[in-house]
Amino acid sequence: MSKARAATASGYAARADGLLSSFVQAGYAQARPAILQPAEPFLDLSGEDIRKSLYLTTDASGAELCLRPDLTIPVALDYLRSAQAGKPAGFCYLGPVFRYRGGRSGEFIQAGLESFGRKDRAAADAEMLSLGLEATAAYGISSVDIRTGDVALFAALIEALDLYPVWKRRLIKDFNRKVSLAQDLERLTLETGKTRNEYEGVLAALAGSDRKAALALVTDLMSIAGTTNVGGRTVSEIADRFLEQSTLKGGALPRDALQLIEKFLAIAGEPDDAAAQLRALASDAKLNLNAAIDEFENRTGFMAARGVDTKSIRFSTSFGRGLDYYTGFEFELHRKGNGTEPLVGGGRYDGLLSRLGAAAPIPAVGFSIWTETLDQGGTS
């Protein structure tokens, strides 16, 4: 390596180490999770982009492992194994992660923060955004685009609508996996009422059933067939798919619900304006979304209290980061004028720790920093 390249690499490392030190000083203990991780949590809980980029292997017992593609789940697993589990705790990290990225190196450095157990959710969300902005400023980037969204607002809307449970589950899943629901809603509308299916009898038997009945029927059918999965899908996943198709066949997505969802997803702007639009939409549709909108407005207030210029925030009801485990506030920071890839990205994931084995729900929020993108001007 040339002296110039060595000096540049040393500068990158010094900035990253300085960032980590600032997090430790802010009260976040340094976490050092293992590089080799169980693959199942990432396969089950991460977004499609991460799942398809995993580096997988197996141990001598046949257990499936992977090189950690991200640090949120490993840090959460270590927290759950510790004496702090269930108690408020904050962690910072800096280390390599591994993902297939086409022509680029599959190993790169990621930094970030995770906060577990805080009940003051709106304040904790605001703290994450504020610390994320401090991270970009530490790299000399003071002018950034702040993009935010809130899965909880969409979930509140879907819960308030008179829809079959299968529609509610599917729409929430679609939101978490896509930045916009426009293509999904169009596809779901076109699928409604399709006829003829090789499982026509099963679909007819499930018509009007709930998830428990669907699971019981599919379990019986699988038992008769002498198998526990088909094509890698579990009995539960197959039951959900059959129930979904049965509901689709009956034309269960009402036109007025579709139009309301589309109006909701068109709301965007700075947070105060967006809140006003959300309250107007809820009032016109006679839906009670007060709790979710109140939390949204409280978060905005805490952001302002931390010195964030809230009028510079671009909020969109359709914004999502593509990770299945997000449950509330989501955000990304992009370099102005060159924002294809985020510099910082994160959000709230209150359901993740329960899905990883916590005995009771534990609030959680955090963010990751792509130091590679910060160092290379946002073009890597």
The DSSP letter of residue 53 is T
Determine the pLDDT at residue 196: 39
Distances (CA, A) of 35 to 53, 89, 175: 16, 22, 30
> Tell me, what's the pLDDT at 193?
45
Q: What pLDDT is stored for residue 36 in this prediction? A: 97
Largest CA distance in the chain: 72
User: Is the full-model pTM beyond 0.85?
Assistant: no
Residues in the chain with pLDDT < 70? 1-11, 177-253, 339, 377-380
Rounded Cα gap, residues 116 and 216, in angstroms: 36
Instruction: Tell me the residue ranges of DSSP E strands in 201-323.
Output: 229-230, 233-234, 268-269, 313-316
List phi, psi (to 5°) of 193.
Answer: 85, 0
Query: In this predicted model, what pLDDT tens digit does every residue of 199-254 receive, in sequence order?
Result: 444 444 444 455 566 566 656 555 655 555 555 566 566 656 665 555 555 555 67
Phi, psi for residue 243 in degrees, rounded to 5 = -65, -40
Name the nearest CA neighbour of 312 among 129, 122, 180, 123: 129
- Ramachandran angles phi, psi of 73, nearest 5°: -65, -45
- Reference 153, options 335, 314, 326, 304; nearest CA is 326
pLDDT of residue 332: 96
Question: Measured at the alpha carbon of residue 131, what is the angle toward residues 30 and 123, in degrees to the nearest 5?
Answer: 105
Topology of domain 10-146+320-375, CATH: BirA Bifunctional Protein; domain 2 (3.30.930)
**What is the pLDDT at residue 8?**
45
pLDDT digits (tens, 9 = 90+) for 70-91: 999 999 999 999 999 999 999 9
Residues 6 or more apart whose CB falls under 8 angstroms from that of 369 comprise 19, 110, 111, 112, 132, 135, 343, 344
**Nearest C-alpha neighbor of 112 from the set 132, 140, 142:** 132
Joined tokens for residue 271: 């947070």
**Strands of 185-264, DSSP E:** 229-230, 233-234
In the chain, ranges of CATH 3.30.930.10 domains: 10-146+320-375
247 in Cβ contact with 210 (< 8 Å):
no
CB-based contacts of 267: which residues, under 8 Å, 6+ apart? 274, 277, 278, 281, 316, 317
- Summarize pLDDT for 172-191 with one digit per residue, the tens: 878 876 654 566 666 556 55
